[in-house]
Chains A and B, each alone.
Chain A
């Protein structure tokens, strides 16, 4: 018969200690996050006004608004999505629905993963070398959008692939068994079912693109340009770059601080809104599926 040492008390003590430590550390992480967001919300909210959002910057970017930066960022988001969304979704469809398991598929997946891991500044270098210099697009919305588009491409592919994978194979087989072609099956069965997840992925990647700075530094972003773009070959200001500029190298850093708070708030708000929309959509669609 074993003589069990009665270690119940010490076991319990250790467990309590460990759980308490983990709880405290987790809450600490959350508190840090809350502090960052609340700090920026609080300071930004005092600056933000209708004027701030709709006016041109003035007096060495210490007064006025950030309207051109907002417009610039919207242009870049739209431009990058026009490129990344179709290419990414089509690519994911091919990988998931057409490509056979084999060397090609594995290679493409490996490359997609690698592309996702490349730092954004390297995209900036690449975009500058290819789009700005080699192809001669210059510093322009086009160059910036393509660079950002390539950056988000792996994200779009990954989320779309996950969405497609979550469609049960029985749906595909059911459709094929009824005599539908592969394309019809994808269009009428697979895509409608995976649509909600694809859209949520897209919205989240919009949030990400809007905050990227390094890739646009040398491909599009203008330091100070108080007018709106007329074509895709124009330079624009962009929110994240604007925040960088006025918080580190503006003409008068102290005086432009309120502007910086405001810009940071707009940026965060943009990301927050995208997150909320994505979550709402997810909830809305999952309810709809349940009702069906």
Chain B
């Protein structure tokens, strides 16, 4: 009986332990489900805000418009339907505010009660007109035609240059500038962090005596512990004004500021991982080099670094990964302009910063909300790719060292 109870306890405990170990797996799966379920909504919802319609003359051969085309029309960059594959007819823009140009207040009646009918009449009369108005003004027997807006496609999402999810009449959901902004800032960060990180790792692993190392190493570890918002604060107070002054810019919040801060933040990752990699170089291999008459630097540059190369690569990639996902510090120092950057001295906006800055304003279920989850998906996929790459590299390394 006692033996039975003991076995039972063992089994129960093992069960609990097993369940705990599935939590991480479950979390990753849940993250995927929730992120992608919300994110996918971007592609199944009209880019025109709920409760509004786009209407054209019923003889207009144009059947659907994309969000980008509509923007071109309303920005008056396209003024003839033929440009969009329609008839040769100039485009007449109509916003609800323009109604006064066509009808008097009397004609519209009290509380605009004649508005639906007048709009209908207007759309019928003007063959080239396109109108954006609330669907409550849509007449029952509307003589124009409500235009079908095509949903944002995957291609438009990734190649669109305009990120303006609250734009009227039609939201612009191009994430290209955000992706480029993210990569731009991260790449800058790694360019700054890699030389310094690697130099420090080499110094700690191969050159410094143990006393210096015992002082420097904990400091580097401390660097990793400082919250990103503190780095952001420091960047905002010191680095941003400095950049503004040095380069004589209107604002100091630039990609460069983001790269510098992210570079500092990526240092501990790069230092720790590459130092570990350098330290795995077998002592005998270093001795063999010295025994052949190489000096310490030749040994480091020709034997130790090549041996640790895969670890160093992993460190650099992980450093990029950290930079790509970093939110607060970037949000605070990059100026957050959603434009494709051309130099490091312009404001940029990264994916995480966009999510952090806009999610608070996006109502749940709204297209904007879904688009931000779509950004989350992109971020998730980027970091997943980075993780898998690193896993692959270190897996290869383990294999060679087993030989």
Tell me the A residues contacting B by CB distance below 8 Å: 11-12, 14-15, 18-19, 21-23, 25-26, 28-30, 32-34, 36-37, 39-40, 86-88, 90-91, 93-95, 98-99, 107-108, 110-115, 117-126, 128-130, 133-134, 150, 153-154, 157, 181-183, 204, 207-208, 210-214, 217-218, 240-241, 243-244, 247-248, 260, 264, 267-268, 271-272, 274-275, 279
Residue of A nearest to B372 (CB): A125
Using A90-B16, A108-B22, A214-B352 as known contacts, list a sample of 8 further A-B pairs with CB atoms less than 8 Å apart, ordered by residue number in A: A22-B199, A36-B234, A90-B17, A119-B325, A130-B30, A211-B227, A211-B228, A217-B360
Do A98 and B14 have beta carbons less than 8 Å apart? Answer: yes
Tell me, in angstroms, the Cα distance from A146 to B386 when the chains sit together.
26
Interface size class on chain B is 35 or more
Partner of B219, one of A33, A123, A247: A33
Do B234 and A40 have beta carbons less than 8 Å apart? Answer: yes
Do A33 and B24 have beta carbons less than 8 Å apart? Answer: no
Residue of B nearest to A36 (CB): B234
| B314 at the binding interface (Cβ < 8 Å) | no
Q: A21-B199, A39-B238 are in contact. Are A121 and B20 (CB under 8 A)?
A: no
Tell me, in angstroms, the Cα distance from A279 to B217 when the chains sit together.
13
| B402 at the binding interface (Cβ < 8 Å) | no
Do A115 and B24 have beta carbons less than 8 Å apart? Answer: yes
User: Hey, which chain A residues are within 8 Å of B219, CB to CB?
Assistant: 30, 33-34
How many residue pairs, one in A and one in B, have C-beta atoms under 8 Å apart?
A: 245
| B310 at the binding interface (Cβ < 8 Å) | no
Do B328 and A129 have beta carbons less than 8 Å apart? Answer: no
Question: Which of B94-102, B169-177, B202-210 lies at the binding interface?
Answer: B202-210
In the assembled complex, the CB of B198 is this many whole angstroms from the nearest CB of chain A, namely 9
User: Hey, which chain B residues are within 8 Å of A244, CB to CB?
Assistant: 229, 232-233, 328, 331-332
Partner of A110, one of B228, B231, B300, B391: B391
13 contacts between A and B (CB under 8 A): A11-B297, A22-B207, A30-B219, A91-B24, A94-B21, A119-B326, A121-B356, A122-B379, A124-B359, A125-B373, A183-B10, A248-B332, A274-B225
Residue of A nearest to B354 (CB): A121
Do A129 and B373 have beta carbons less than 8 Å apart? Answer: yes
Q: A130-B30, A268-B226 are in contact. Are A121 and B199 (CB under 8 A)?
A: no
- Per the 8 Å Cβ criterion, residues 1-56 of B in contact with A are 6, 9-10, 13-14, 16-18, 20-25, 27-28, 30-31, 34-35, 38
